[in-house]
Amino acid sequence: MCGIVGAVAQRNIVPALLEGLQRLEYRGYDSCGLAVIRDHGLERARSTQRVAELAQQVQLEQLSGRLGISHTRWATHGAPATHNAHPHFSGNPPRIAVVHNGIIENYEQLREELSAEGYVFESQTDTEAVAHLVDSLYQGDLFEALQQACRRLVGAYALAVMSSDEPDRLAGARYGSPLVIGVGQNENFLASDALAIAGTTDQIIYLEDGDLVDLSTDTVLIVDRDGNDIDRIVHTVQAHMAAADLGPYRHYMQKEIFEQPRAVSDTLQDIDEIVPELFGAGAAEVFEEIDQVLILACGTSFYAGLTAKYWIESLAKIPTAVEIASEYRYRDSVPNPRTLVVTISQSGETADTLAALKHAKSLGMPHTLTICNVATSAMVRECELSFITRAGVEIGVASTKAFTTQLAALFLLAMALAKSKARLSSDRERELLRKLRHLPKAIAAVLALEPQVMDWADRFARKENALFLGRGMHYPVALEGALKLKEISYIHAEGYPAGELKHGPLALVTEAMPVVTIAPKDELLEKLKSNIQEVHARGGELYVFADADTNIRPENNIHVIRMPEHYGMLSPILHTITLQLLSYHTAVARGTDVDKPRNLAKSVTVE
C-alpha cells in the first residue's frame, strides 16, 4: 500500500527520498510524488508512472532541498491521477505539504467546513482535507497545528507534514497506519517501514498509535496520544539489503518461492521439543485456560488459517473457527472468553485483521496470539502471545514464503495445543518433529519439479478460467492455488472441495476449463479418483499433482506431475509450492507484472 518517506537533513535529501520510494515500490502503488522546501517555497513533482519516471522529472526540474516528503499512493479516494497524487499542498502560495497513508473517514465533513472557510480543493482525496486543516490551524508552529488537526481526524493515518515557514522541521503522526522514525547522523527520517530507509540508517523507532513526532536534523521529540512527552526505544534493525538483490532470479516472486527451504528452516529453528513458550512467556497458562480457537485473517493468511483448523482439530481436538477479519469485525458474534484468538498477517499491520483483533478483545476475549513476519509490528504489540515467522522480507505482492512459514508456525501451534491438552504422545511428538525437520529438504525436492510445471504453464497461459480441486486439508491449498493464479496471471480461477463438484461447478467443465487437482495419498484418495473420473467423463482436462504412491497415471486429457513421497499432515505445505510455481510461470508466459500485479498492494494498511 501507500509508502511514506520524509527527511530533514543538512544535505540534499532528494536522492534518499527517491531511493526510499524505490524500496517501497514492492508494496504496490498507482502514483507517486515528492515535495521539497527550497528558498522558503514548496516545490513538488508527481507522476502516475513508476518511481523511475518521477526521478527523471525531479532531475529535469532540478528539485533539491534539505527538507522533503515523498509518497507512493494506492488510491482509496479519487482516481489514480496526477492531481490526486501526494504530496498535497495548502495555502496560496503553498505553505503546508502533507503525505498520508490511510483513510480519513470524516473527510467529507472537513471538506465542507474548510470549503466554507474559503479553501479550494484540487483533488478528490481525503488527504487534501488534512493539508487544509493543518493550514487552517497553523500559526507559525507546525507541530502544534498537527496536534490540533489530529484531534479532528477520524479514521486511520500515518502523516508526514512540513511547512515552508519552518524549513528545518518535519512533523508526523501515526494512528492505525504504520510509521517509523529513522534516526541518522545530523539527519532524521520518517518512513512507512524500516526497509525504506535501510540504505541510510539502521536506527529505528517504531511509533505507537496516537503518537506525534517533531523532528529536526538533531532532535526527535515524540508525544503520545495524551500529549505527554514520551521515550520510545531505538531499535537497531538489520539492513535488509539482501532482500533487494534479485540474484539469478527473474522476479522477486520466483526468488521468494526458491527461498522457502531456508525460510521454513529458519522459522522452525532447531526446535527439538514442543513447549508453549515457543509462543511467548505465559503461553502455558493461556493454553490451559482456552477451550476453543478463533483464527482471524485475510487473503492468503486466511487460507493458512483454514489449513490450521484441520491440524488443530485433528491433533489437539480443540474446536476451531476461521473467519475473514473484515467480516468478523462487523457481525454480531457470540464471544467466549475461553477462546484463543489467533491473528495471521505477514506484515502484522493488515488493517482489517488488526481491527478484528481489537474487536475480539473488546468483546471480552483477552487471550490473543499473532503469527506474523515482523517482530515490531502493531499486531505483535497488540497480542498477548506471538510467533514470529522468519521468512525474511517478502517483496513480491503475492505471498509465497510468508504463507508456507505461517503454515509451519501453525503446525507447531497445533502440536503445542495438543501437548498442553495431553493429546500428543511423546512418540507422536518425536515423529512429527522429525517430519518437520525434514521439511526443508522435501520442499527443495518439490522445487526441482519446476521444469515440468513450466511445460504446463505454457498451456495454462492460453486459458481464461481454471478450477482447483482438493479435499480435506488440501481444500484450502486449492483455494490458495486459485487465488495465486488470479492475483498474478489474471486468469479467473476458483478453488473447490472436490466433493462439491457435482453440486454446481461441474456445469462449467468443458475442454476449455483446466481442472487442477491436488491428489495426496491419504484416506480420501479413492473418492478423489472418482472426482477425477467425473471431470474426465465430461471432456474436462485434468492437471493432477499426485503423490508418488497414488497410482494415478497420465492418459488422454489427464496430465500428471508426480510429487515426492507423501508427507502426512505436512503435505499441504508441499502441494502449495507446486501451485505457486504454476501461477508464477503462467503469469510469466502471459507477460504480466508478476511482482506488482495490477490493483493490488502489499501490506494492506487500509480497510
Closest distance to ligand HGA from the beta carbon of 75 (Å): 5
SS3 229: strand
Phi, psi of 96 (to 5 degrees): -115, 135
Task: Give me the helices (H) in 260-318, please.
Answer: 260-268, 283-289, 299-311
When asked if residue 315 is in the footprint of ligand HGA (CB under 6 A), the reply is no
Cell of 77: 479516494
Closest distance to ligand HGA from the beta carbon of 345 (Å): 16
Closest distance to ligand HGA from the beta carbon of 101 (Å): 4
Phi, psi of 110 (to 5 degrees): -65, -40
Give the strands of the sheet with 385-388, arranged side by side: 320-324, 292-297, 339-345, 368-372, 385-388
Q: Which is nearer to ligand HGA, 4 or 473 (CB)?
A: 4
Closest distance to ligand HGA from the beta carbon of 98 (Å): 10
**Rounded to whole angstroms, how far apart are CA atoms 268 and 266?**
5
How many alpha carbons fall within 13 Å on the CB side of residue 317? 6
When asked if residue 475 is in the footprint of ligand HGA (CB under 6 A), the reply is no
Q: Which is nearer to ligand HGA, 77 or 562 (CB)?
A: 77
When asked if residue 192 is in the footprint of ligand HGA (CB under 6 A), the reply is no
DSSP 176: B
When asked if residue 2 is in the footprint of ligand HGA (CB under 6 A), the reply is yes
For ligand HGA, the binding residues in 394-433 under the rule CB under 6 A are: none
When asked if residue 83 is in the footprint of ligand HGA (CB under 6 A), the reply is no
Q: Which is nearer to ligand HGA, 177 or 203 (CB)?
A: 177
For ligand HGA, the binding residues in 344-363 under the rule CB under 6 A are: none
Q: Which is nearer to ligand HGA, 30 or 323 (CB)?
A: 30
Q: Which stretch binds ligand HGA (CB under 6 A): 75-83, 130-138, 253-261, 374-382?
A: 75-83
Closest distance to ligand HGA from the beta carbon of 51 (Å): 15
Q: Which stretch binds ligand HGA (CB under 6 A): 70-78, 336-344, 509-517, 547-555?
A: 70-78
Give the contact letters, 220-259, x = binds to ligand HGA (CB under 6 A), - = no: ----------------------------------------
- The residue whose grid cell reads 511467548 is 280
Closest distance to ligand HGA from the beta carbon of 207 (Å): 16
Q: Which is nearer to ligand HGA, 125 or 350 (CB)?
A: 125
Give the contact letters, 513-532, x = binds to ligand HGA (CB under 6 A), - = no: --------------------
For ligand HGA, the binding residues in 124-183 under the rule CB under 6 A are: 125-127
Quick one: which of 12, 57, 64, 76 contacts ligand HGA (CB under 6 A)? 76
Q: Which is nearer to ligand HGA, 80 or 199 (CB)?
A: 80
Q: How far apart are the first and last CA of the chain?
A: 11
Cα separations (Å) of 573 from 255, 483, 570? Answer: 18, 16, 6
For ligand HGA, the binding residues in 29-48 under the rule CB under 6 A are: none
Buried b (16+ CB within 10 A) or exposed e, 352-370: bbbbbbebbbeeebebbbb
Cα separations (Å) of 385 from 140, 279, 410, 443, 524? Answer: 45, 6, 13, 29, 35
Say which amino acid occupies 166: E
When asked if residue 77 is in the footprint of ligand HGA (CB under 6 A), the reply is yes
Q: Which stretch binds ligand HGA (CB under 6 A): 74-82, 290-298, 373-381, 390-398?
A: 74-82
Say which amino acid occupies 177: S
Closest distance to ligand HGA from the beta carbon of 197 (Å): 18
Beta strand 541-547 pairing with 514-519: parallel
Closest distance to ligand HGA from the beta carbon of 60 (Å): 25
Closest distance to ligand HGA from the beta carbon of 490 (Å): 21
Closest distance to ligand HGA from the beta carbon of 100 (Å): 5
When asked if residue 606 is in the footprint of ligand HGA (CB under 6 A), the reply is yes
When asked if residue 74 is in the footprint of ligand HGA (CB under 6 A), the reply is yes
Q: Which is nearer to ligand HGA, 73 or 309 (CB)?
A: 73
**Rounded to whole angstroms, how far apart are CA atoms 543 and 455?**
11
Q: Which is nearer to ligand HGA, 72 or 389 (CB)?
A: 72
Q: Which stretch binds ligand HGA (CB under 6 A): 71-79, 340-348, 378-386, 521-529?
A: 71-79
Give Cβ neighbours of residue 25 (< 8 Å, ≥ 6 apart): 3, 50, 51, 72, 596
Task: Compute the C-alpha angle 566/567/569, nearest 5°.
Answer: 125
Q: Which is nearer to ligand HGA, 76 or 148 (CB)?
A: 76
Q: How many residues bind ligand HGA (CB under 6 A)?
A: 17
Q: Which is nearer to ligand HGA, 177 or 370 (CB)?
A: 177
When asked if residue 75 is in the footprint of ligand HGA (CB under 6 A), the reply is yes
For the residues of 3-69, what is the DSSP string, one character each?
A: EEEEEE-SS--HHHHHHHHHHHGGG--SEEEEEEEETTEEEEEEESS-HHHHHHHHHHTT---SEEE
Q: Which residues are catalytic?
A: 2, 602
Q: Which is nearer to ligand HGA, 74 or 403 (CB)?
A: 74
Task: Please name every residue paired with 544 in a beta bridge, in sequence order, or none if there are none.
Answer: 517, 560
Cell of 26: 514492492
Closest CA to 122 of 189, 185, 44: 44
| CA torsion, ordered 448, 454, 455, 457, to nearest 10 deg | 140
Give the contact letters, 91-130, x = binds to ligand HGA (CB under 6 A), - = no: ---------xxxx---------------------xxx---
Q: Which is nearer to ligand HGA, 2 or 63 (CB)?
A: 2
Q: What is the CA radius of gyration of the chain?
A: 25
Cell of 315: 491433533
**Rounded to whole angstroms, how far apart are CA atoms 198 and 528?**
49
Closest distance to ligand HGA from the beta carbon of 600 (Å): 11
**Rounded to whole angstroms, how far apart are CA atoms 40 and 37?**
6
Helix axes 401-420, 299-311, angle to 10 degrees: 30
Closest distance to ligand HGA from the beta carbon of 49 (Å): 17
Which residues in this chain contact ligand HGA in the complex, by CB under 6 A?
1-2, 73-78, 100-103, 125-127, 605-606
